[in-house]
Amino acid sequence: MSQNRNLHKAKSNKKDEFYTQLSDIENELRHYRDHFQGKVVYCNCDDPTVSNFYRYFQLNFEFLGLKRLITTCYKSKQADMFSQHDTEQAIGVEYAGGEPQVFQLKGDGDFRSSECIELLKQADIVVTNPPFSLFREYVPQLVEYDKKFIIIGDKNAITYKEIFPLIKAGKLWVGYKTMSGGLYMDVPDHYVEEIKANYGKGSYKIFDGTLKMFARAMWYTNLWHKRRNEELILYKKYTPEEYPHYDNYDAIEVSKTKEIPYDYAGAMGVPISFLDKHNPDQFEIVGMDRPLMTELTGRVSRFWLNGKEMYARIVIRNMSPQ
């Protein structure tokens, strides 16, 4: 099975217990350190017994200058460091230095529950790896309550009708790590044998005796980082031969982000990987192929070029063509 499909299969089975490695968390969050001073961080999809997000923020609490850390998750068999509590009861943890304060939740710990929403209201920044199967619901909730966030999601989420308008409106963008590659996730012990039996070897690797599953995952955020406004250096000049128009939409095809022509003022179709390089001071995002074609023709379609359907394209304009 292709690496690109393994997490989709897991999503269809509603198996969302894929845990982010501490090294990946450290590599991303070090680019946001200044944002955390005096802030309340909420990890609302994180079992504190296994979550590396909780571990990261507890270990770096003073270094980051946090005010408070709150962690909750959907009810699970929580044990180990909180084994004195009912393992079938959803719990949360608050940390402000010293000893962690464990509390029981009345409900099941679902991020959509009223008590978790009340905790969300207290937070300044949300940092977590939410269930991929619920990403369409999860992100709009953060936006509704006007929260800053650094979260992990499937790369394909860029194309969701609930997500792309937020990207277009500048309410969400790619994190510091580029979209290339993906992330290897830790998995619960009870998944391991099933993964070995049902997924191809290209879908996982064994590191130091521990199985890690490959996810086509990336970081999403609405916090500024230094890659956000980096200018993309353009070196190609437009020619109609090298940049043909689509058959069914008034825009030119640019197959590689690095080859965006510096002197073209019209609409251009670029791969979704363009978002890695998107500088809102340099480019305007006009839309995405299927919604644009639906608006234009009333039918769902991608762009066509020389009689062939293209892969997903984002339509952009250079705001200052030379």
128-138 pLDDT per residue, tens: 999 999 999 99
Residue 41 has pLDDT above 90, yes or no: yes
As a whole number of angstroms, the distance between CA 195 and CA 201 comes to 9
270-298 pLDDT per residue, tens: 999 999 999 999 999 999 999 999 999 99
- CA 129, 133, 134, 140 dihedral sign is positive
pTM: predicted TM-score of the whole model, two decimal places: 0.89
Residue 8 has pLDDT above 50, yes or no: no
Q: Which of 241, 244, 265 is nearest to 254 (CA)?
A: 244
Give the pLDDT confidence score for residue 74 in this predicted structure.
Answer: 83
CB atoms within 10 A of CB 290: 18
188-246 pLDDT per residue, tens: 777 788 888 888 777 888 887 788 888 899 999 999 999 999 999 999 999 999 999 99
Residue 3 has pLDDT above 50, yes or no: no
- CA 44, 51, 217, 10 dihedral sign is negative
62-101 pLDDT per residue, tens: 999 999 999 998 875 444 444 444 456 788 999 999 999 9
Query: Are 157 and 167 a contacting pair, CB within 8 Å?
Result: no
